[in-house]
Every structure is written in C-alpha cells, then in structure tokens.
Structure 1
Amino acid sequence: MTAVERFDELAPRLRRWPDVEAHDLVAADASDRLILSEAGDVGGEVVVIGDRYGALTLSLLAADPDVRIRVHQDAITGERALAANAEELGMALDRVTSHALDVGLVADAETVLLQLPRSLDALDEIAGVIASGAADVVRVVAGGRVKHMTLGMNDVLARHFQAVAASRGVSKSRVLRAAGPIRTTGGGWPRAQDHPDPGLTVCAHGAAFAGTSIDIGTRFLLGFLPDMREAETAIDLACGTGVLATMLAKTRPGIRVIATDQSAAAVASARATAAANGVADRIDVVRDDGLASQPDASADLILLNPPFHSGAAVTDEIAPKLFADAARVLRPGGELWCVFNSHLGYRPILERTVGPTRQAGRNPKFTVTVSTGR
C-alpha cells in the first residue's frame, strides 16, 4: 500500500493527546494527505518537519518497511502524541529519530516533507536549515491548509531555493515544492532586539511567539512585577522568549526562575534571552508539557500569559489546563499572576481551579489577576 492509502487507513485513529482535544480539533487533515500524495514514493531516508501528531511519519512507516525517518517537531506534545499514536497502533518507532532544528536534522537529505508553520519567520529558519545542509538534489514538499497560507511563503522559500512551485488546491489544501538549495552560512537565528523600556534584550528563533518584540499582554504584566510576592523560586509558565523570567531575574537578584514552554523554539529563545541579559545562571529553561515535570507544591510564585493557539487553531482549552498545572505546583499561599484578554473572562475558572482570585489591574484590552493557592 502507498503512504496515501496508509494515511486513509490510519488518520481516523490518530489522537492529539496529550495536546488539548476537542470536537473541532483534529489530529490529521487533508494537507497531510496532499503532502504524502505529492511526495510520491520516497523510500530510503526521509526528513519530516512539523508533523503535528504523527500522521506523516506513521503513514510513511506503515507504507515502507525500509524507510528511515528523521523528525523535528517543535511542540513536545507533538513528539508525545507521535509516540502515543504509534503505541496505540502497535507500530515500532525504531526507524524514527528525533532531532533539533539544525543541520544534523537535514544532513545530505534528498527528501524533506514539511507541514508549513504559521509564521514566515519560522519558515525562513526552517528553509535556511534545509538549504544549508541538505543534498544538492533535495526536494522539499511543504503543505498546509489554504486559509493559513500566504504568497509570502513562496517568497521566503525563494530566498533559499532556486525553484519554487505551487500545486493546485485540493480539499482546501495546497503544496509548495522547492528544489535547488542556495547555500548560505545560516539565516541569522536567533535574532535579537534591544528594548530600552523595560531595559531588555529579547532573542527569538523563527517559531517563537511575538518574535523579538514584547507582546502587549506580557508588557502589561511586567508593570506588576514590583507588586508580586517575595519568592525564592518562581516559574514563568508558557515562557515564550523568556521576557517575564528574565525581567524577574534582573529585578530580583536573589531569585531563581524556572522558565517552561512546550515549544523547542521558545525554549531556545528563552535561553538566548537570559544569556543576552546576563541572568542565565539563575534561570533554568525547561521544555515541558505545562508543568508536568515540576513537583507538587514547589513554587511560591508563577507568572502566566496563557496562549490561545494550538498550532493554527484558536482554542480556549489551553488556559484551563495550565491553570490546573499551576494549582498543583503552587504552595499553599503561593500566587499565580495571570494576564489575559479581558473578554475571555478567566477569573471564575481561576477561582475554581487555583483559589481566591482578585483583579490586580485592567486596561482597555487586558486583565491581570492574582490567584492564591489553597
């Protein structure tokens, strides 16, 4: 059977777990199928980038008993979903290796399958890595849902490849093909930007939320740092580029901060931000699914600007999961400081999940709350 036929067989059985699950959030879609169809008979060794929950990898494995696959998934939940789906299907992953987004991932690769990322910066970093390390004959098959694709993606790929072409749309999906890598010395990632106010250098890899800017929710929460309780250990949950963790470490010389995020790009960015601001020795950056690796009742202070995207999907399922993690990890009397778009109305959920919650501040767009652990 072909990889497309295997996809048709496997896709209905795939789950997103341990990522958030809901009736309108799928583990595989028509863009996965189109990527496999356009790739054809790949064979040998294949690189798969951005495989959200394992649809591409598992379809290739099931179709070809000799294929070997190098995989990069930015989200740790994607890695764990791939493993969980393989176990449920009774498939071994002995021919699959997981890699960071670097030249080792693509060294001498002749075929790269890519689920297109949401941001052009993320695509630029990925394309630069492929072009700098893959074989001269490499072909890239990059697909996505048409509603999430832009003409700018063609332009980004054209900076790194001599030939870029688009397929016809199929089932509201499309593939971009790229070949002829333009060799470079790297794409300049991570990038850095100085922010005189609040006195911070922010570093970011391509897939990191907000890039080298400081998003307005985080900037609003920064204004409340002096009001937060004293703590020996604090956690920046869903840390992104590490702005909150770094500013906390800069303004409180005796504190140790754990910065955690599920994204490999975010974790690498947070480490770079901490180093650029001279506080790397007091910030431990961890790639984790929420606070899964943190002990119960181990933190006095947690800061959170909860994300509301799961991949390209907008969902309100992520924040409650993070609130539950914070409730478990907070010591009794510890504080969770949270900033969110006011229309989301998270305060009742925080009251139920974490503990007594008060509003610390509000502007025309955002609300900051403080929840006290029970």
Structure 2
Amino acid sequence: MDFPFSRLRRWPDVEADNLQAHDATDLLLVERALASGLGGSEIAVIGDDYGAITLALTDAGLDGIRVHQDLATGRRALARNAEELGLSAFSAHELDATLLDGARLVLLQLPKALAELEEIADAVARWAAPDVVLVAGGRVKHMTIAQNDVLGGRFAQVQAQRAERKSRLVVATEAVPVPAEPPFPVTEQHDGLVLVAHGGAFAGPRLDIGTRVLLGVLDGTGASSRPAPTVVDLGCGTGALAASYALAHPESRVIATDRSAAAVASARATMVANGIADRVVVMHDDAGSEIADASVDTVLLNPPFHLGSSVHTGAATRLFEAAARILRPGGELFTVYNSSLGYRAELTRLIGVTEQLERTPKFTVTRSIRR
C-alpha cells in the first residue's frame, strides 16, 4: 500500500510527537476493504479519527465512500487532509440511515464506550444491507470481550481475527432483527433536571460527579444567584451545566458547545426535555471556535483528561485557551477537574488570577478572572 499516511495531520486536534494521525488498525481496515472487491458506494466508515481510512480507500479509486466521524476536530482534519492530498470522492454523514443505507461493508474503529458501540451496532443492523459485514478494529491493549458481547447483541456471528501489528479485527455478520425503537437516546431524572444521552456521550444520562461538585459550588458561592448575561458551557457533554444554569436563570443567554456529535445531539435533546430548547443554543464546534472573542461573561468547564484512549492534558489546555479567548476582561471561568492534575497554575497563566473554591479528595473547583 503506497498511500502517504505520514502526510496526514491531526490538526486542529492536539498534535504531539507521541500522537499520530493513523495507526495499524487503520491499515488493517483499509486492507480488508480493498480485498472485499466492493465498490466505494457499498462501503461506510465509522470512527475514522483523521480520515486515514476514508482517504486511503478514495486514493485507491473507491469513489462514494460514506463516512461518519463523531468529533468536529476529526471532521476538520479529514477535510484538511483531503484538500492537501487532492481527494474529494467521499461524503460525510451523521450516524443515520443516509450513512448506512445499502452499505454491505462497514468499517469501524472501535469506540472506547460500550454504549457508543451498542448504538453503532444497532444502527448498522437497522439500516445497512441485509448481508452487511461489520468489521471493527482496535489496538489489542484496548479491546475487551465485552465489545464482542455488544456486537453479539445485533449480529449472530462475531469472530475475532488474528492480531497483527498489535491491532485486531473483529468481524460481525448475519444481522439479527432489531427492536422497533433504537436503544438510544436514554433519559434519566435528576432532582428537577432531565438528562438525555446518546451512546457516545460521556457519562451517559448520569449526572457526572465532577459536574455535580461544580453545580454545588456555584450554588454555595452564590455565583448562580448572580446571573451573567452570556454563559457558555464549554465541552457541554449532555448539557447538564447549560441546562441547570438556564433553568435557574431564564434571563441569561446560554450556549452549550462540544466537539462530539453524540454529545451535541444529547444536549439538544436535554434542552427539549427540560423545556428550554428556545433559550439554549447548542453548537457542534471545536473549542468554541465559532464564538466571538471577548463576547462571554461566564464559562463553565468540566474538561476531559483523555484524548481517545490516551491520558493527555492537551485537550484541557485547548479549552483553557478557548475560554481565555472568548471571555471578556473581568469575565469568570468556573472549572472542575481531577485534583491530581493541578491545573491552577496553568489557569492562572492562561486566564488570570485563579482561586480555589472547593477541594475534595478527587475534585478541585476553581474560579479564574480573565485579565
């Protein structure tokens, strides 16, 4: 295979010497597709982080590949890499029937969350061709028997292949009948707050413990009793922070933004469930890039500390930088993070004076004032 994988970039996602835009699993999935003899219009790709699978197949002459990427960063990276390589004969879709209708081969980079895998497996069995073959791959160290069990809920045959280059493919065939209604989204009630979650949304319909701590601190400091004109829930997940703030302060303009399409779909459904869809704007965006500079009074942030399966603080740093850009001078950033990460010095450097509002054995909550 002579596709120039080394030319692919992760941009605008975090780039570092130990972070690549492709891996051995991508290569195995590409090889499997090329060996299938199918045309591009019969192939769908899910979870192609930066476009390595889609672009390698397109470069090999398979036109009409359909691709779904959850992350806004991945979508932008695919577009940038495609432009760089002069490739365009593919189309992007959400996880729906337009992605999968008539697909006979689905290539999947295995997601981290079993709930996300369950939603994907259901979508493939529900909308793809009756004889569809789902080929899921991942790095061996991140794969579990539980993933096979999830696939077995929608396919009669699930076979793990021999590991190669520290990656493995799992082939699922013979889709079984699906229930009338898809298994996602799911809903839970939390003391007057309804959370709705698709499979790929962090923490599902539960109220994440870090978010719970931050909400408690906002109530305890009186911050939530002083409504800000414009509030952003940066990296909103299912929208718990945005919805809670909007419910308490109907006079505030609230924006919820996340780079995950599953999170955005969940947050939009959360706003509908709480009757505030007309008062909260939910955006699929990368680190608030579509929000104007110095336009926000308050940012609420529960940052991630993983990039895919890797523990990496770069994702949090990008969100701190985004908060610094969108906050007006004197604006406030409320952050909750794992206490072991010690972000206070970085927040002071990037935002401004930072004070600790709460510290538990697991979480720290800070308030930073934009200089």
| TM-score normalised to structure 1 length | 0.94
Aligned position for 1:195: 190
Distance apart, 1:43 and its partner CA: 2.2
SS at match of 1:281: coil
Q: Any idea what the Cα deviations from partners look like across 1:122-160, whole Å, max 9, x if unmatched?
A: 011001111011111111111001111111111111111
Aligned position for 2:331: 334
Q: Any idea what the Cα deviations from partners look like across 1:194-223, whole Å, max 9, x if unmatched?
A: 123xx3211100010011111111110011
CA distance, structure 2, for counterparts of residue 272 and residue 87 of structure 1: 34
CA contact (8 A) 1:132 1:182 kept: no
Aligned position for 1:273: 270
Aligned position for 2:79: 83
CA distance, structure 1, for counterparts of residue 53 and residue 317 of structure 2: 30
Aligned position for 1:282: 279
Give matches, 1:177-326, under 5 Å.
Answer: 177-184=171-178, 185-196=180-191, 199-226=192-219, 227-228=222-223, 229-326=226-323
Aligned position for 2:165: 171
Distance apart, 1:273 and its partner CA: 1.1
Same amino acid, percent of matched pairs: 54
Aligned position for 2:141: 147
CA contact (8 A) 1:128 1:186 kept: no
CA distance, structure 1, for counterparts of residue 38 and residue 175 of structure 2: 19
The residue type paired with residue 156 of structure 2 is: Q
CA contact (8 A) 1:129 1:186 kept: no
CA contact (8 A) 2:135 2:171 kept: yes
Aligned position for 1:357: 354
Aligned position for 1:11: 5
SS at match of 2:118: helix
Aligned pairs, how many?
A: 363
SS at match of 2:184: coil
CA contact (8 A) 1:245 1:283 kept: yes
CA contact (8 A) 2:227 2:249 kept: no
Aligned position for 1:61: 58
CA distance, structure 2, for counterparts of residue 33 and residue 167 of structure 1: 15
Does 2:143 match 1:136? no
Q: Any idea what the Cα deviations from partners look like across 1:169-199, whole Å, max 9, x if unmatched?
A: 1111111111122232243211011123xx3
| TM-score normalised to structure 2 length | 0.95
The residue type paired with residue 192 of structure 1 is: T
CA contact (8 A) 2:59 2:87 kept: no
CA contact (8 A) 2:135 2:169 kept: yes
Does 2:63 match 1:73? no
CA distance, structure 2, for counterparts of residue 322 and residue 159 of structure 1: 37
Return the match for 2:87 from 84, 92, 95.
92
Aligned position for 1:124: 118
SS at match of 2:153: helix
SS at match of 1:231: coil
CA contact (8 A) 2:55 2:87 kept: no
CA distance, structure 1, for counterparts of residue 70 and residue 218 of structure 2: 30
Name structure 2 gaps, 5 residues minimum: none
Instruction: Indicate the RMSD between aligned Cα atoms, in angstroms.
Output: 1.2
CA contact (8 A) 2:353 2:370 kept: yes
CA distance, structure 1, for counterparts of residue 181 and residue 250 of structure 2: 35
CA distance, structure 1, for counterparts of residue 153 and residue 249 of structure 2: 43
CA contact (8 A) 2:154 2:176 kept: yes
Distance apart, 1:37 and its partner CA: 2.3
The residue type paired with residue 237 of structure 2 is: G
Aligned position for 1:109: 103
CA contact (8 A) 1:112 1:138 kept: yes
SS at match of 1:337: strand
List, as ranges, runs of 4+ consecutive aligned residues in structure 1 with deviation greater than 3 Å.
Answer: none
Name structure 1 gaps, 5 residues minimum: none
